[in-house]
Structure 1
Amino acid sequence: MLDWNDLKYFVAVARHGSTLAAGRALGVDQSTVQRRLTALERHIGRALVQRHTSGYRLTDFGTEMLQAAQQVEHAAVAFEQALAESRRNAAGVIRLTCPEPLVNRLTKSGLLDRFHVQHPALHVEFVMSDKYIDLRTGEADVALRSGDTDDGVLVGRKVGDSLWAVYASKDYVARHDMPSSVEELGGHPLAGFEESMSAHRASQWLRDVAPDAAIVARCGSVLGLLLSAKAGVGIAPLPTALGDSEPELVRVLGPVAALSRDWRLLAMPEIRKTARVSAFFDFMVSEIEALKPIITG
């Protein structure tokens, strides 16, 4: 019988153009992809791909069969997501993804305690990341997210404003002059995001306004920027909710209009309709006034 699992290796090679890239996407080594693809072709009795110097290309037969294989892949992913969703519904778990600094602020605010009192059968688990977690993969149910969040797939609503300003430590200010304008930022050592966060709006803004500035600390998270600023190694852009709450920091510029975005509560449409996620959305909307100081400052 056909091993349906082998089809995902065929689809991955067709999608990525090489067994190496397919292996990376699937989290296996290149030899595994080659072995499983060969086994599939041997079972079928016809070649699906051809090896070229530039990578793998589909044969005419492979092109003919690709759409059907993709349909199997989509059905398998849908089944896995439905199974995971059923398990989470039964357990009453809501996985909330949000930036790391918000976890402490949300927890200390008592907001989630009130939610658990109202809904004792439900439990919120954090999936912490400064990068966007793809809700389509099922890694999280709900995102509390700021930035460019309108991707045409997720549904949700605005729950507050995301404001950013530029901060320095009191010690830094005592040793150096503060920039009096955005144009003077280039004359100061800066803390910014590392390459993996290059698409973040703060990274893009620093490149625009201070392209020749000395970046003395490259961080993979907002908490890294915060710690760099507190250590006095340089000036850093930070969310106002975070920067203003630190007594060791001084706001030197801002809020910066170019960095302002909306905070949104987001979910996949089918997940948004479940009872547990609907309960969480309804509660958070009812608590918007309490939420605003947490996410905006």
Structure 2
Amino acid sequence: MLDWDGLRYFLEVARTSRVSAAALRLGVQHSTVSRRIQALERELGTLLFDKSKATGFTLTEDGLRFFAYAEQMEGALINAREDILGQSQTLSGHLRVGSTEGFGNYVLTPLMVDFQRRYPAITLDIMPVPRFISLSKREADIAISLERPQRGPYLCTKLLDYSLKLYGSTDYLARSAPIRSLSDLGKHSFIGYVEELLFSDRLRYLDDIVATDRVIFKSTSVIAQYHAALQGQSLTILPCFMAAQDPRLRPVLDDEIVVTRSFWMHCHEDLRHSNRVMALWDFLKKSVQLNTPLLRGEANSLQYLP
């Protein structure tokens, strides 16, 4: 019989590509993970990983095939545990949600605190990061991204379209040349992204508005851009759900400069039967829809479900 417990070790090494990282996540010694992987490979009669100091543990062709089965077994065990423990009545356990940086800090985090008030037996990890979240590596149970996954065994839904506008601090706009039309923007400087480090083409929007030589401050972080704008030296494009909540920022040419992007929510297909995952899924869907005015720049504060 296959060692079921060995599947946990296999999945963690496959997702982290490092025995040391897998050991840390599993709370065991490095040698224990190595021993378990070797035992599993002996049981299956094949190599599951190619080992390299440079790239770590990379799944072989047999390893990739086994990974798909192991994930299905993991998902079945999770669903069985929830069903047997009756978590449909009292939701408990742990959830991890990853999202884009700005949305994660300014919308998702306060909504997740509200969710935890409703389900105090659930513990949460929130990951607002300026990169894509990998569901295949199980970095999160639910991911919110700028792009719809093109392939993979995922349950996916569009949350909504949101707006970005050009903003400046009240101090900057009071002492700078007036902006009455697009042609006036040539007299101003801007804050933007580091182009070569963009993790998504959906973040390319400043080039359509101003010349690149007018962008004098760049960052990979939208939070850093927001704080730079507050210093009153330049203009920047920000999501309305961030800037509209801060009275120190004002939109510029808000009838002419409106950028529209979308948020997508997705999770691994095998989690659709997880009661706690689906409870959070439905909660986020309803909460974000309730806050459509904020995300489209028509309101200045976050609303909560009754």
Q: TM-score range by the shorter chain?
A: 0.5 to 0.7
Deviations 1:220-273 (A, max 9, x none): 111011011111221111001111111211111336777312223221222233
Report the Cα distance in structure 2 between the residues aligned to 1:108 and 1:133, rounded to whole angstroms: 16
SS at match of 1:260: strand
1:70 aligns with one of 55, 61, 76: 61
SS at match of 1:201: helix
Report the Cα distance in structure 2 between the residues aligned to 1:164 and 1:200, rounded to whole angstroms: 15
SS at match of 1:246: coil
- The 8 Å contact of residues 106 and 241 in structure 2, kept in 1 or not, is answered as no
Report the Cα distance in structure 1 between the residues aligned to 2:136 and 2:180, rounded to whole angstroms: 44
Query: 1:116-265 residue pairs with structure 2 within 5 A?
Result: 116-145=116-145, 147-153=146-152, 154-194=154-194, 195-197=196-198, 199-202=200-203, 204-254=204-254, 259-265=259-265
Corresponding residue of 1:49: none
SS at match of 1:130: coil
Deviations 1:130-155 (A, max 9, x none): 2221222110111233x332524333
Distance 1:81-1:184 versus aligned 2 partners, 3 A rule: farther
Report the Cα distance in structure 2 between the residues aligned to 1:264 and 1:107, rounded to whole angstroms: 13
Moved more, 273-282 or 172-181: 172-181
Corresponding residue of 2:95: 94
Report the Cα distance in structure 1 between the residues aligned to 2:71 and 2:269, rounded to whole angstroms: 17
Query: 1:266-285 residue pairs with structure 2 within 5 A?
Result: 266-285=266-285
Distance 1:129-1:84 versus aligned 2 partners, 3 A rule: farther
- The 8 Å contact of residues 190 and 217 in structure 1, kept in 2 or not, is answered as yes
In the alignment of these two chains, the number of paired residues is 243
Distance 1:95-1:231 versus aligned 2 partners, 3 A rule: same
Q: How far 1:197 moved relative to its partner?
A: 1.6
Deviations 1:193-244 (A, max 9, x none): 1231264434x22223324433221111110110111112211110011111
Q: How far 1:189 moved relative to its partner?
A: 1.3
Report the Cα distance in structure 1 between the residues aligned to 2:183 and 2:150, rounded to whole angstroms: 33
- The 8 Å contact of residues 160 and 292 in structure 2, kept in 1 or not, is answered as yes
- The 8 Å contact of residues 75 and 270 in structure 2, kept in 1 or not, is answered as no
Superposition CA RMSD, Å: 3.6
SS at match of 1:93: strand
Higher helix share goes to which structure? 1
Q: Does 1:9 align with 2:39?
A: no
Equivalent AA in structure 2 for residue 98 of structure 1: S
- The 8 Å contact of residues 159 and 292 in structure 1, kept in 2 or not, is answered as no
TM-score for both structures, normalised by structure 2: 0.65
Report the Cα distance in structure 2 between the residues aligned to 1:198 and 1:133, rounded to whole angstroms: 11
Note the residue ranges of structure 2 that are not aligned, 5 or more in a row: 1-36, 83-91, 300-306
Moved over 6 A (4+): 87-91, 255-258
Distance 1:192-1:105 versus aligned 2 partners, 3 A rule: closer
Distance 1:211-1:105 versus aligned 2 partners, 3 A rule: closer
Equivalent AA in structure 1 for residue 207 of structure 2: R
TM-score for both structures, normalised by structure 1: 0.67
Structure of higher CA gyration radius: 1
Query: 1:16-31 residue pairs with structure 2 within 5 A?
Result: 24-26=54-56
- The 8 Å contact of residues 163 and 258 in structure 2, kept in 1 or not, is answered as no
Note the residue ranges of structure 1 that are not aligned, 5 or more in a row: 11-21, 28-32, 34-65
Equivalent AA in structure 1 for residue 94 of structure 2: V
SS at match of 2:121: coil
SS at match of 1:126: strand
Equivalent AA in structure 2 for residue 71 of structure 1: D
